[in-house]
């Protein structure tokens, strides 16, 4: 049945996924996937912000939930490479929001290209809150789109701390473009259990892991 739907391809001894590693589900579709977990992860990420912090919010549905959760009373400088995140932050008067510029990527509404990358070249930020398509110990942090991956790399170079926001479905997954090795990760916020092999491997590398539990109300 799965093969008829085009999700897998049967092979001798089992099945393999027939979905390309570069296939990126539409933004609206991804926003509804694991939504309860993303809301909790976004709130936990917002709680890490301190008054006066200079933070980079990466493109993604989980970082968008983080933007929604940021306290209006905090005085922050936030750099956004996503139009939906910039619009969300623009409603919060105490937050100074900078937009990277660049070319708008259709559908995703992220900002890409040389102008988006070069925006970070002379900046020194506190924290980058990074969204990813997948996390693998061997392949590192991966992304669907090469242009988005290059902007993420530039953002990583501009920040002294990296916080990765990833629900359990991203752990062990490998997408098309490698952004960086897992060695760049300082903090992982996830709903995956402590026994998850990726979580355990990261903790062995001295990565701080913050576990969240979606509330009953969020799941509804």
Closest among 49, 79, 84 to 64, alpha carbons compared = 84
Q: What is the dihedral of CA 157, 163, 169, 175, to 10 degrees?
A: 0
Distance CA 131, CA 58 (A): 6
Q: What is the rounded average pLDDT for all residues in the chain?
A: 88
What pLDDT is stored for residue 220 in this prediction? Answer: 44
Identify the three-state secondary structure at position 57.
strand
Q: How many CB atoms lie under 10 A from the CB of residue 54?
A: 18
Using an 8 Å Cβ cutoff, are 27 and 107 in contact?
Answer: yes
**Tokens standing for residue 7:** 């999700």
DSSP string, 110-166: BEESHHHHHTTTT--EEEEEEE-SEEETTTEEEES-HHHHHHHHHHHHHEEEEEEE-
The residue whose two tokens read 């040389």 is: 114
Confidence class for position 190, pLDDT limits 50, 70, 90: very high
Confidence class for position 9, pLDDT limits 50, 70, 90: low
Backbone dihedral angles phi then psi of residue 210, each to the nearest 5 degrees? -105, 115
pLDDT tens per residue, range 102-152: 999 988 899 999 999 999 999 999 999 999 999 999 999 999 999 999 999
Identify the three-state secondary structure at position 105.
coil
CA-atom Rg of the chain in angstroms: 17
Q: First vs last Cα of the chain: how many Å apart?
A: 29
Identify the three-state secondary structure at position 183.
helix
pLDDT tens per residue, range 39-84: 999 999 999 999 999 999 999 999 999 999 998 778 999 999 999 9
pLDDT tens per residue, range 164-179: 999 999 999 999 999 9
Confidence class for position 215, pLDDT limits 50, 70, 90: low
Count the residues in the chain: 220
Closest among 194, 190, 65, 82 to 134, alpha carbons compared = 190
Q: Is the pLDDT reported for residue 17 higher than 60?
A: no
The residue whose two tokens read 């925006």 is: 119
């Amino acid at each position: 049945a799965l093969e008829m739907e085009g999700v897998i391809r049967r092979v001798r001894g089992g099945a393999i996924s027939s979905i390309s590693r570069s296939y990126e589900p539409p933004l609206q579709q991804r926003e509804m996937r694991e939504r309860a977990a993303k809301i909790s992860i976004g709130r936990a990420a917002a709680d890490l912000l301190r008054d006066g912090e200079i933070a980079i919010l990466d493109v993604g549905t989980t970082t968008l939930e983080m933007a929604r959760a940021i306290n209006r009373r905090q005085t922050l400088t936030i750099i956004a490479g996503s139009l939906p995140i910039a619009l969300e932050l623009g409603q919060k008067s105490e937050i100074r929001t900078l937009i990277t510029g660049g070319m708008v990527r259709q559908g995703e509404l992220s900002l890409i290209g040389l102008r988006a990358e070069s925006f970070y070249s002379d900046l020194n930020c506190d924290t980058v809150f990074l969204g990813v398509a997948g996390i693998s110990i061997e392949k590192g942090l991966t992304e669907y789109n090469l242009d988005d991956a290059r902007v993420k790399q530039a953002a990583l170079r501009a920040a002294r701390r990296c916080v990765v926001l990833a629900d359990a479905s991203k752990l062990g997954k490998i997408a098309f473009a490698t952004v960086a090795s897992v060695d760049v990760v300082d903090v992982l916020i996830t709903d995956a259990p402590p026994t998850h092999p990726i979580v355990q491997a990261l903790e062995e590398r001295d990565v701080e892991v913050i576990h969240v539990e979606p509330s009953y109300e969020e799941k509804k």
